[in-house]
Amino acid sequence: MSDTVRIGMLGCGTVGQGVLRILGETAGTVERATGHRLEVVRVLVRDLQASRPGVDPALLTADPEDILGDDTIDIIIEVMGGLDPTHEWLLRALGHGTPVVTANKQLLARHGPDLLAAAEEGGSDLRFEASVCAVIPVIKVLRESLLAAEIDSVTGIVNGTTNYILSEMRRSGMSYDDALAQAQDLGYAEADPADDVGGADAAAKMAILASIAFHTRVLIDDVPYVGIDELQSDDVDIAGELGFVMKLLGVARLVDGAVSVRVHPALVPGDHPLASVSGADNAVLLESTMVRQIMLVGPGAGGTETASAVVSDVLSILGSRPGSFLAGALADAGLPMAAEGSLESAFYLRLDVADQPGVLARISAVLGESGVSILTVLQRGEGESARLVMILHRSPEARVQEALGRLRDMRDVRAEPVLIAVVGSGEAPR
């Protein structure tokens, strides 16, 4: 590459504008450190007239050919999001040998393998640190520092929007809707925030992390996910009274040589390191026999924070030879995916029941017959009804689900039971 590196950017929203700002502010430092001057020469958008404070309108184009068809462009930054036409455009760029930096987790969690293959074939480079946990360098650490660390589990708070919502509900009693609106205003949420609150954003990130941690291809379709959109604030409050904090967790682990990856709301004990990760911060706890525990924590969403990871990937490309440094990361070991129901977990179970003699005994009997044992019981009378909250000892999930099916059918049980995994105590899933 010549002294001036010509960059084409696809998208100029929350992250894209952050990239332009950082490149402008750090131009001198970058040139001194790398010997290259980074120049954004073209920026693709849909609406040329939209307000973009500080962005030179002369850079803007609505024609993708101005970037994809320009052979003088050295690096493409993709911060437009979406699957289509993004997938086809990046395949084309990589196939032509143009390095690509992307923050697009949904695209990577579906098409990562063929994008990396195109990078290999085209002799180019695909970097995607910003796609997971914004500025926290979790991909670099997994791929470079911990490549041979035989990771057993990756447990993370990997969505800033939902962590912000849960933290604000707990800290200030803010409503779910108000907290979500604030997260959108602050630039944390996806263009469609249903991806955040429904768990799809976290599932995509966990698929990417699991692929790298376990050297096995994991796609978003391999990751069952539940978000926080169905969560009831009562359960957040009761969990707090019991000494737990509600989090949306991604949990990826090896179980008897198979890979299990999931995203779901979970209770973590108040003294667990993940419990204190608040606001839009993310954290990833990496565990292995070899290195014990490493936790990476920091800003997990936001335009400037994500843009900083994008810029860092651009600098890595300048300092590396052609070829993807992540090639092979997605399919070395080829481990199978773990069967559903083969895992063990402790659980929080909430039942709204008739407040009558013998109800607790009948419920305990159902759990006992399924081989599920109770650690703690909390009961509150509410008129004719009672609210029973139990923490269940770690048990095979298939047994807990069987008991849940029977509890649902009991006349004593007046509403759909609520079952939430407990993670990170002696009762943690494994």
Does residue 279 interact with ligand NAP by CB under 6 A?
A: no
The option from ligand NAP, ligand HSE, none interacting with 14 (CB < 5 to 8 A, set by class) reads: ligand NAP
**Footprint (CB under 6 A) of ligand NAP, residues 116-175:** 130, 134
According to CB under 6 A, which one of 128, 176, 188, 214 is a site residue for ligand HSE? 188
Does residue 281 interact with ligand HSE by CB under 6 A?
A: no
Q: How far is the CB of 105 from ligand NAP (least distance, A)?
A: 6
**Footprint (CB under 6 A) of ligand HSE, residues 84-143:** 134
Does residue 15 interact with ligand NAP by CB under 6 A?
A: yes
Q: Are 10 and 44 in contact (CB under 8 A)?
A: yes
Of 248, 300, 264, the C-alpha closest to 105 is: 300
Q: Of the listed 105, 140, 205, 247, which one is catalytic?
A: 205
With CB under 6 A, what is the number of residues at the site for ligand NAP?
28
Q: How far is the CB of 39 from ligand HSE (least distance, A)?
A: 27
Site string for ligand NAP, 47-66 (x = CB under 6 A): x--x----------------
Considering only the C-alpha atoms of the chain, give the largest distance between any 2 of them, rounded to a whole number of Å: 82
The option from ligand NAP, ligand HSE, none interacting with 46 (CB < 5 to 8 A, set by class) reads: ligand NAP
Does residue 78 interact with ligand HSE by CB under 6 A?
A: no
Q: Are 323 and 120 in contact (CB under 8 A)?
A: yes
Helices (H), 125-214: 138-140, 160-172, 176-185, 194-197, 200-213
According to CB under 6 A, which one of 161, 216, 260, 288 is a site residue for ligand HSE? 161
Q: Select the span of 156-164, 310-318, 333-341, 344-352 touching ligand HSE (CB under 6 A).
A: 156-164
Q: Which residue has the tokens 């005994």?
A: 361
Active site residue 205: yes
Query: What token pair was written down for 16?
Result: 């894209």
Q: Are 157 and 131 in contact (CB under 8 A)?
A: no
**Residue with smaller CB distance to ligand NAP, 29 or 51:** 51
Paired sense of beta strands 418-422 and 244-255, if any:
unpaired
Of 285, 287, 239, 293, the C-alpha closest to 266 is: 239
Nearest 5°: the CA angle 201, 204, 207 is 150
CA 89 vs CA 82, 83, 178: distances in Å? 11, 10, 37
According to CB under 6 A, which one of 11, 250, 269, 417 is a site residue for ligand NAP? 11
CA 397 vs CA 258, 334, 401, 417: distances in Å? 16, 25, 6, 15
According to CB under 6 A, which one of 5, 7, 12, 391 is a site residue for ligand NAP? 12
Does residue 300 interact with ligand HSE by CB under 6 A?
A: yes
**Residue with smaller CB distance to ligand HSE, 74 or 196:** 196
Q: State the Cα–Cα distance between residues 14 and 45, nearest whole angstrom.
A: 12
Helices (H), 214-327: 233-241, 303-318
Residue 261's contacts (CB-CB under 8 Å, 6 or more residues apart) are: 206, 207, 210, 218, 222, 223, 250, 251, 252, 337
The option from ligand HSE, ligand NAP, none interacting with 196 (CB < 5 to 8 A, set by class) reads: ligand HSE
According to CB under 6 A, which one of 122, 160, 199, 279 is a site residue for ligand HSE? 160
Does residue 301 interact with ligand NAP by CB under 6 A?
A: yes
**Residue with smaller CB distance to ligand HSE, 142 or 386:** 142
Q: Are 333 and 215 in contact (CB under 8 A)?
A: yes
According to CB under 6 A, which one of 128, 164, 188, 244 is a site residue for ligand NAP? 188
Return residues touching ligand HSE (CB under 6 A). Answer: 134, 159-161, 188-190, 196, 201, 300-301
Which residues are marked as active site? 205
Return residues touching ligand NAP (CB under 6 A). Answer: 11-16, 44-47, 50, 79-82, 103-105, 130, 134, 187-188, 190-191, 301-303, 306
